[in-house]
Amino acid sequence: MASRNPGLHKGHRERMKKQFRENGLTSFNDHQILELLLFYAVPQKDTNELAHTILNAFGGKLSDVLDAPYSELVKIKGLGEHAATFLKLLPQAASYYMSTKQLRNDQCFAEGIDDICRYFEGIFMKTDNEEVRAAAVTSELKLIREKKIADGTICSVGFSIRALMNFAVECGCDRLIIAHNHPRGVFTASKNDMIATRDIVRHFRAFDIEIIDHIIVGQNGSQSMRSSYYAGSIWDEDFSIPGAVIK
């Protein structure tokens, strides 16, 4: 079948590019974003129908398309090896961008919690595994050093308070921010997260080291436990969790 009128086809591409330049992606839905991306991988072809076909094959979400295996993408008629490789490149390029955009060691978390959450979102974007990490900071929230402390969740046997204490001593700091991720779940703190955080806060308080916050990063965002209305009370000296065992 012959392709659509080349003039109309070119005009459609130019209109979408102009729309992006003027408004960014805020006015685009998943299909339009994918169609726009395919402009640069599938030249001289109407990518509207192809974008619909790809989205329908992977559940209708752009994120599912970008997470799909290369071997599945190349099965889509009209996509091809070049375009499939391009789509697999995008999330890794985004991850690399975020990791190189992170705060330098001579900068501060100037916007406080928002900066801290964005920082750890970028850190955890690079891994599909559960990790516990910590950042040593000054009283002005200047980043001294950031490090992976353990594999696993904050509640797992893989986490070591001694390792966290050693990190604080190595950095010569008295303020720490801890973080862990839920790579396949939500960023809401569980009861076990709260119990573990309470114990860590109390343990380090005895050594005059402040745990400024505990950030949880999930699939779709992050949470500051200290800013949370239901978990923030962990930092109160008399806070107790129903059903928790005092260590």
**Strand 210-218, strand 175-181: pairing:** parallel
Q: pLDDT tens, 77-103?
A: 989 899 999 999 998 887 777 666 655
Identify the domain boundary among 99, 115, 145.
Answer: 99
Q: pLDDT of 91-144, one tens digit each? A: 888 777 766 665 555 566 767 888 888 888 888 877 778 889 999 998 888 888
CB atoms within 10 A of CB 9: 16
Q: Whole-angstrom Cα distance, residue 42 to residue 68?
A: 18
The tokens describing 239, both together, are: 């806070």
Residues 120, 226 within the same domain: yes
- In the chain, the number of structural domains is 2
Residue 211 has pLDDT above 90, yes or no: yes
> 231 lies in which domain range?
106-235
Residues 125 and 209 occupy one common structural domain = yes
Q: Quick one: 146 and 112 in the same domain?
A: yes
Token duo for residue 48: 């509207």
CATH number of the domain bearing residue 172: 3.40.140.10
Q: Residue 228: CB partners within 8 Å, gap ≥ 6?
A: 189
